Amino acid sequence: MTGIRLFNTRTRTKEDFVPIDPANVRMYVCGPTVYDRAHLGNARPVVVFDTLFRLLRHVFGAGHVTYVRNFTDVDDKINDKAAQTGRPIRDITDETIGWYHADMDALGALRPTHEPRATDYIAQMIAMNETLIQRGHAYAAEGHVLFDVRSFPDYGRLSGRSVDDMIAGARVEVAPFKRDPMDFVLWKPSTGDQPGWDSPWGKGRPGWHIECSAMSFDLLGPAFDIHAGGIDLQFPHHENEIAQSCCAHPGSGFARYWLHNEMLQVEGKKMSKSLGNFFTVRDLLDQGYPGEVIRFVQLSTHYSRPMDWTAAKAEQAEATLRKWRGLIAGAEPSVPAASVVAALADDLNTAGAIAELHRLASEGDRARLAGSAALLGLLEPELGGWAEIAGPDADVSDLIAQLLAARAEARAAKDFARADKLRDGFAAAGVAVKDTAAGAEWTLAPGFDADKLKGLL
Ligand code: AMP
Ligand code: ZN
């Protein structure tokens, strides 16, 4: 069996990956807060840990891996959006989850085994809070429940900070009912039209961190293999999850391997709305980037390094994928090349794996290129948005030739209305036509729609 090695943030070393139960390898990844479209940075953990999921399925068997990624559907940002728009919360979260699925599907990300919504686990969160209070790790005060960080000596170990350093460095919310400024909220009161559930502490709603502890316990048990997310979640979110889970289930150890992806930037700068370089995944798909191109660019940088999204990289990725798709057309995918599996097994060296794909392509090893790319979720037939622009089929070429001939006839007959209609029709269908001395040349633009072309006949 291929030996996988992973860089474990908890120990700051690359370790052999030994699952607790190879018949059921378990991974939890913190998912999105659902109030808006996922941006390009949000896609990074999705693509990176989807690739890990694929590798685990390859090594341990597809039926032996359980992958959980949650939806945070209770959060003050969602409440704010509901207040601004006057829409019910459930409408907003349902719509956003639909968008998320469509956008991440377009990137070739497999759906996780379970995608729990936080609001379906309120009872489990309340029960966990009660356990933490009973064990002396949490206390109720003024309708809140707070975790007592001084009761957990390991608090800060994941991120390598002491509680006193954190207090000095962090913007902590000081509140009169907190015993220590670092104590964090497990439950808070809800008033007015804020969403709320009955609890032993009055009507209220969970703090953010408790949902992942409650859902991972329910779906994966007290101890599981991998916990992952963006590096921005390491502190305080993951630190707090560890405190909650380890104190509620002493001796379990919670997650064994902690993986964190670094942040994504755009053209060397932090992505931000004020800089005008903020993109959602949907923005790029609508601009005509196939999801596969976005995936390829994301995988070309190791997850532990900051990744710089540039238009130049996307162009290059598109050219490479076009070439490879042409090369593998009609080839029956073989098992992945050992070199590609080895690169991925080495702490998910996706850049190394892509270098190997280039080598297979240059050797003309079509079957192995197709089979190996599939392990990275690339060159798969079902990847949306790309098939239409990968290359026209014969019917489309015939149709375009017919329409170009009709346009030439219309021009010759000085029927300019007909000629203009055809010109506009090509543009609307996504066919770029260039008139050259040698005649009309055409290419299919992203978003090409053959049905619109048929309407022109
Ligand atoms: P959120 O919806 O803000 O909780 O984020 C969902 C996921 O996206 C988390 O795993 C974050 O760590 C990750 N994330 C957010 N911004 C970026 C970014 N710029 N680069 C990479 N990952 C990010
Ligand atoms: Zn989480």
Give the N- to C-terminal CA distance of the chain in Å, as an integer. Answer: 58
Nearest ligand to the C-alpha of residue 212?
A: 2
* Residue closest to 400 by CA, chosen among 353, 355, 432: 432
The residue among 232, 261, 290 that closes a domain is 261
- Strands 255-261 and 224-230, by their bridges, are parallel
pLDDT in tens, 290-336: 999 999 999 999 999 999 999 999 999 999 998 998 899 889 999 99
Give yes or no for residue 430 having a pLDDT over 50. Answer: yes
The dihedrals phi and psi of 297, each to the nearest 5 degrees, come to -60, -45
- Which of 227, 232, 260 is the best mutation target for the ligand 1 pocket, counting ligand atoms within 8 Å of the beta carbon and taking the most? 232
86-97: pLDDT as tens digits = 999 999 999 999
Question: Strand 264-266 and strand 307-309: pairing?
Answer: parallel
Over 90: is that where the pLDDT of 228 sits? Answer: yes
Model pLDDT for residues 99-157, shown as the tens digit of each residue: 999 999 999 999 999 999 999 999 999 999 999 999 999 999 999 999 999 999 999 99
User: What's the confidence (pLDDT) of residue 385?
Assistant: 58
| pLDDT reported for residue 393 | 65
pLDDT at 41 over 50: yes
CB 321 less than 6 A from any atom of ligand 1: no
Pocket flag, ligand 1, residue 375 (CB < 6 Å): no
Nearest to 77 by CA among 89, 95, 64: 89
Hey, what amino acid is at 440?
Answer: A
8-state DSSP, 304: T
Strands across the sheet with 204-206, in order? 138-141, 144-147, 184-189, 204-206
Q: Which of the ligands is closest to the CA of residue 233?
A: 1
Max CA distance (Å), the chain: 90
398: in domain: yes
Whole-number pLDDT of residue 428: 85
Answer yes or no: is 375 within a domain: no
Q: Residue 50: give its domain's CATH number.
A: 3.40.50.620
pLDDT of 392 > 60? The answer is no
Q: How many domains does the chain have?
A: 2
Residue 360 belongs to a domain: no
Per-residue pLDDT at 100: 98
Give the relative orientation of helices 291-299 and 311-328 as an angle to the nearest 10 degrees: 110
Name the residue at shortest CA distance from atom 9 of ligand 1.
230
Whether residue 19 is found in the same domain as residue 160: yes
CA torsion sign for 215, 216, 219, 222 is negative
The Cβ of residue 145 has, within 10 Å, a number of other Cβ atoms equal to 25
Mean predicted confidence (pLDDT) in 255-267? 96
Classify residue 291 by burial, with Cβ atoms within 10 Å: 0-12, 13-18, 19+: buried
Residues 422 and 410: their CA atoms lie apart, in Å, by 9
Quickly state the pLDDT bin for 394 (edges 50, 70, 90): low
- Tell me what the mean pLDDT of segment 223-238 comes to: 96
Listed residue (287, 286, 285, 266) closest to 277, CA to CA:
266
Structural domain including 38 reads 5-261
Instruction: For a ligand 1 pocket test, name from 42, 115, 267 the mutation site with the most ligand atoms within 8 angstroms of its C-beta.
Output: 42
Residue 390's pLDDT band, with cuts at 50, 70 and 90, is: very low
The verdict on the CB of residue 229 being under 6 Å from ligand 1 is yes
Mean pLDDT across 265-283: 89
The whole-chain average pLDDT of the chain stands at 92
Per-residue confidence (pLDDT) for residue 275, from 0 to 100 = 82
Interacting residues of 209 by C-beta distance below 8 A, sequence separation 6+: 184, 186, 236, 237, 240, 241, 244
* pLDDT at residue 278 is higher than 60: yes
Alpha-carbon distance of 148 to 20, in angstroms, equals: 30
Average pLDDT over residues 212-219: 98
Residues above pLDDT 90, as percent of the chain: 74
| 230 C-alpha to ligand 1 centroid (Å) | 6
Query: Atom 2 in ligand 1: which residue has the minimum CA distance?
Result: 32
Query: Per-residue pLDDT for 382 more than 80?
Result: no
State CA 64 to chain mean position distance: 22
Closest CA to 115 of 93, 91, 133, 136: 93
Task: Decide if 275 contacts 201 (C-beta within 8 A).
Answer: no
Q: Ligand 1 in contact with 41 (CB < 6 A)?
A: yes
CA distance 269 to 131: 45
Last residue of a domain, one of 261, 294, 326: 261
Q: Which of 204, 235, 261 is the last residue of a domain?
A: 261
Of residues 95 and 434, more confidence is placed in: 95
